[in-house]
Structure 1
């Protein structure tokens, strides 16, 4: 049988390693202080600390902070090189309440992230709508609308409502326009995009430094755009490799933006403007959105995530 590090050491050495580890990790003593106190060389102390971790005498655990899963958050941030990652442990939350908890977590993240001089960009999104209801303690920054709106059962906020609510929380100005996100034909959408107010606000996307976006997966019930178009449109886009959308910006599994004729019917931020935003926070939940969120990260469409544990595990697996 192969020997472990514990088996190769005698009891005295194991107890010494434990004593050194207690002083270092629990009492906060430096290696030099421990060496002086125990009459050891600091190199011996360093070796004992390393041994204590390798042998399992010391186990380092990152604990949760309330409903925030700090361990998953840190691992997700490190795995994808994210600017920020916040994971909500949804195991003890009713599924009907998860969106509210994610919204509060995203609002809390914005409190940390948004600074004076920033410009906040918000599209129409069910998750963004929920988040704006929890916004508090933000500096007086302007808020810019990034897309038209959809009518969805159970959600009565327009994109204008979302932006105005956020602007009231910040005390800054709001740039808004009245338009649907998806129209029935490209000509109607083109006419709307040429409207002076719509064109002026969409052009202000270049000012946005922080944006919050929902992520839709290209599957039933996981994207308002997917559910709003015809079955022929859904099949055509699936055939082009579309796996998700952010405010109507479609992308494939590599995160490459896909621009079929359907996109000409959408009133929203351009893909180039989206990529130009310094920090784009995605709010999403559920393992079934893993492919879409992973693709959005790969394509650089988002660089920060607020997610539940199920989605985080799907991304980390």
Structure 2
């Protein structure tokens, strides 16, 4: 039996990378079983399984699921209606809560890949979800595209750096990348204001406001949220931020339930494009999941005027239930 490339078996001279491609082609495109592939290529079934796993992990194979379950579709329609969105994407609930950012992020990357075209500009935030979004992006060459980072960077990062997310997205599309070359948190408000007076940083801020699309995430006020887990802010700030009314952060700005900036010293030290600036961008998409982020996501939608929400079933259900309750409370107050 011949494989898709016309060879009966994989000889010892075939490069390993080529062998992985052959195995992946037969399995995902030709529809052969693992046993059939093993027989066709003269391999053991265990070897075939390992090569398929390697093809996935190395990015040789990218799986995309475009179908929606009836439950997902219903939640998406509900979110669009309840929050005045143009589009909602809801992924299935994760079996492990630790996987929520991976699932939502992957969906965000797929969504972004479909939206971008020649001559477009993209503004991007950061966080675990957007870091995971890189996995869902389908790289290709896009002419005259630019990517703008919405936040400053870190002098020391263990895993996620705001500037790295923008740079990697730009590389995937062959795009120009514009970085906010300042620390994401500075020591005081005076220094922040002085930095924003720098012509190059003012130009970057204007470029971000003029972007065609923005993809941002939302943080909550928990010890394991990105800002606190990565040590950008001390855990001791959690209590004072909650006392100030904060329910979460959007591009590192802490906002209350109404989407307004809270009066807290942290908000005066941030080198990042503000939530108000996001409202000037053509299309803003928020990618965030988890029922625990309900209040933060709702606040971020208000703060940014986002028209796209990419989330999971848990957060979608919480947002719809919470929105319905708020409407009932408002009607009671008026009645």
In the superposition, relative to structure 1, how do residues 294 and 177 fare at CA in structure 2: closer, same or farther (>3 Å)? closer
Q: 1:307: Cα distance to partner? A: 0.8
Structure 2 distance, partners of 1:165, 1:270, is 23
How far apart, in 1, do the equivalents of 2:118 and 2:263 lie?
A: 35
Aligned to 1:246: 250
Task: Note the alpha carbon deviations across 1:92-144, whole angstroms, 9 max, x for none.
Answer: x5444433322221112113323333210012322112212432156432111
1:211 paired with 2:214, answer: yes
> What's the Cα RMSD here?
3.0
CA distance in 2 between counterparts of 1:172 and 1:67 reads 37
C-alpha distance 284-271 of structure 1, shift in aligned 2 (>3 A) = closer
Within the alignment, does 1:159 sit opposite 2:162 as a pair?
yes
What is the TM-score normalised by the length of structure 2? 0.66
Tell me what 1:56 maps to: none
Deviation at 1:145, TM superposition (A): 1.0
Q: Which residue of 1 aligns with 2:15?
A: none
Where do 1:166-315 residues align within 5 Å?
Answer: 166-224=169-227, 228-230=232-234, 233-315=237-319
Structure 2 unaligned residues grouped into runs of 5+: 1-65, 322-335
Task: Write the deviation string for residues 191-224 of structure 1: whole angstroms up to 9, x where unpaired.
Answer: 5444554443233112212111110123332351
Structure 1 counterpart SS, 2:260: coil
Q: Tell me, in whole angstroms, the C-alpha distance in 1 between the residues paired with 2:146 and 2:296.
A: 30
Question: What is the CA–CA distance in structure 1 between the aligned matches of 2:114 and 2:213, rounded to whole Å?
Answer: 12
Q: Could you tell me which runs of 5 or more consecutive residues in structure 1 were left unpaired when the two chains were aligned.
A: 1-62
Q: Residues 161 and 181 from structure 1, CA distance in 2 versus in 1: closer, same or farther, beyond 3 angstroms?
A: same
Number of matched pairs: 253
User: Aligned to 1:112, what secondary structure does the other structure show?
Assistant: helix
Q: Radius of gyration: which is bigger?
A: 1
In the aligned structure 2, how far is the partner of 1:184 from the partner of 1:202? 20
Displacement of 1:159 in angstroms is: 2.4
User: In the alignment, is the contact (CA less than 8 A) between 1:149 and 1:159 conserved in 2?
Assistant: yes
Quote the offset at 1:166 in angstroms.
Answer: 1.0
Correspondence for 2:81: 78
